[in-house]
């Protein structure tokens, strides 16, 4: 397992050396910076699991560095070291997203405990969220940041990316973890019944209301309420939801009494809510009330390193209660690795479960995979003229890796080996293209590196 990396920032050389000695002795990979400006250069060049910075420094202060780090990457975990007279500033830093602060002179054990607590939370998330990609690493760090508050959170992402899993992780890492987590899909309930589902109703308030009923806001009092597919909420209910969020009070259908509720709302959507506000189908004031804190979940096609992990995780999950030792043929694995997954993680799990049910001799073959994964659907290429169209699989078949490798080489040649421009040509993210370059052994000059023997 890779060592956790820590960036230590302090303008006093002796302090940097002491911290480096302590942390290196505990097995951490330590880098030191003498100023906030130098720290930002390090952060721009490489990934750090945690930044430990002094609050008072010449030039950029620790608070200013925190703001710079947050603007650069909201997922970065920051711990501040503060002198006695600057504790108020450190408390302000917590509001700006710092994980914690330590008052000088700090005890060695307290320092290590605070760092371990921050990194352990991240490790615990690794068990909840199966991933190995930098994109999901940033999501996990954001979860730790937003979990500390009670503000509303908006989770955005395509269908099947795991928005409810992220919502549960926020709840599990919050102070409400011992309280109820209640989820509701706003698109799955008839709009005439959804108001009663959310806010409850009094006896006789409508036909069929034979008794009083608590709504989910009351049921989740003290805990977390997850509103999935919030973009499907009827405009008339949006005003009532806004009032519940602002006033922390609800009124049951047919009732006259205001009921106090202490609920943290986490909402999720696969739709462009900002565009919906411009079209008038979603209230602008509700959008900004929900979007106090936001998390964007990247689609599976943009985090290729996660595919193998998830595939193996789902194989174990769906064979846990059996004696089967399922393996995957090389060709089937290649298709799993290279497929674009328009249905994201949900589609991957479905494909694995189907393959397990159909495979013989406990080996998954191409014949066990869903048709959409084996007939070329979902695999895009660029046609003459620059328009995107779906690839039609020739009758004689193709070597998919050869096609992809050649397209990447062409894109690199066309852009003079500029990864950013090449990624744009290929419809990939910068990090995804970097991963593919490494996978295929393609050097920056566009040629292929010889495989190690």
Would you kindly state where each structural domain of the chain is located, as residue ranges? 5-128, 134-296, 300-374, 380-440
CATH topology of domain 5-128: Rossmann fold (3.40.50)
Tokens of 252: 């049951």
Which of helix, strand or coil describes residue 250? Answer: strand
pLDDT at 331: 92
pLDDT at 279: 94
Contact 59, 37 (CB under 8 A): yes
pLDDT at 393: 53
3-state secondary structure 367-413: HHCCHHHHCCCCCEEECCCCCEEECCCCCCCCCHHHHHHHHHHHHHH
pLDDT at 453: 33
Per run of 10 residues, the mean pLDDT along the chain (length 453 residues) is 85 94 94 95 88 92 90 84 73 79 88 88 78 90 89 95 95 89 90 88 82 90 95 93 95 91 96 94 96 94 93 91 89 92 94 94 93 64 40 57 81 86 83 81 59 37
pLDDT at 384: 38
Distance (Å, whole) CA 63 – CA 308: 40
pLDDT at 380: 42
Rg of the chain over all Cα atoms, to the nearest angstrom: 26
Tokens of 126: 């690794």
Superfamily of chain region 380-440: Homeodomain-like (1.10.10.60)
pLDDT at 404: 80
Distance of CA 293 to the CA centre of its chain: 13
Distance (Å, whole) CA 43 – CA 32: 11
Q: Tell me which CATH code domain 300-374 carries.
A: 1.10.8.60
pLDDT at 382: 40
Same fold, 5-128 and 134-296: yes
pLDDT at 421: 85
Superfamily of chain region 134-296: P-loop containing nucleotide triphosphate hydrolases (3.40.50.300)
Quick one: CA dihedral 33, 35, 41, 46, positive or negative?
Answer: positive
Distance (Å, whole) CA 318 – CA 218: 36
User: Which segments within 203-302 are labelled E, that is strand?
Assistant: 213-214, 224-228, 249-250, 259-260, 264-269, 293-296
């Amino acid at each position: 397992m890779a060592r956790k990396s820590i960036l230590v920032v302090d303008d006093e050389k002796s302090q940097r050396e002491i911290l480096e000695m302590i942390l290196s002795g505990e097995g951490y990979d330590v880098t030191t910076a003498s100023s906030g400006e130098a720290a930002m250069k390090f952060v721009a060049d490489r990934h750090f699991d945690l930044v430990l910075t002094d609050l008072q420094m010449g030039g950029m202060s620790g608070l200013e560095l925190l703001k710079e780090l947050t603007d650069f990457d909201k997922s970065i975990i920051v711990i501040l070291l503060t002198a006695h007279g600057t504790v108020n500033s450190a408390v302000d830093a917590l509001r700006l997203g710092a994980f914690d602060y330590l008052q000088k002179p700090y005890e060695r054990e307290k320092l290590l405990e605070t760092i371990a607590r921050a990194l352990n939370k991240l490790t615990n998330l690794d068990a909840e969220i199966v991933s190995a990609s930098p994109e999901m690493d940033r999501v996990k760090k954001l979860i730790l940041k937003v979990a500390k508050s009670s503000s509303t959170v908006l989770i955005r992402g395509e269908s099947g990316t795991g928005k409810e899993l992220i919502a549960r992780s926020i709840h599990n890492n919050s102070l409400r973890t011992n309280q109820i987590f209640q989820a509701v899909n706003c698109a799955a309930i008839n709009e005439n019944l959804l108001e009663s589902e959310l806010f409850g109703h009094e006896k006789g308030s409508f036909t069929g209301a034979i008794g009083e009923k608590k709504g989910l806001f009351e049921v989740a009092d003290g805990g977390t309420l997850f509103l999935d597919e919030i973009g499907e909420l009827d405009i008339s209910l949006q005003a009532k939801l806004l009032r519940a969020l602002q006033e922390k009070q609800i009124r049951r259908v047919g009732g006259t009494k205001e009921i106090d509720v202490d609920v943290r709302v986490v909402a999720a959507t696969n739709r462009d809510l900002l565009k919906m506000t411009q079209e008038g189908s979603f209230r602008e004031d509700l959008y900004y009330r929900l979007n106090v804190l936001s998390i964007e979940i990247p689609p599976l096609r943009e985090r290729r390193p996660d595919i193998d992990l998830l595939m193996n995780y789902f194989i174990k999950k769906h064979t846990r209660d059996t004696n089967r030792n399922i393996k995957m043929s090389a060709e089937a694995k290649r298709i799993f690795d290279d497929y674009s997954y328009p249905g994201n993680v949900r589609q991957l799990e479905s494909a694995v479960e189907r393959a397990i049910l159909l495979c013989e001799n406990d080996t998954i073959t191409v014949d066990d995979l869903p048709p959409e994964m084996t007939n070329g659907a979902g695999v895009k290429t660029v046609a003459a003229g620059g328009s995107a169209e779906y690839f039609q699989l020739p009758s004689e078949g193709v070597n998919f890796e050869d096609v992809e490798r050649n397209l990447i080489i062409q894109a690199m040649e066309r852009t003079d080996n500029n990864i950013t421009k090449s990624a744009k040509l290929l419809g990939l993210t910068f990090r995804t293209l970097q991963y593919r370059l490494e996978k295929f052994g393609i050097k920056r000059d566009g040629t292929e590196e010889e495989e190690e023997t």
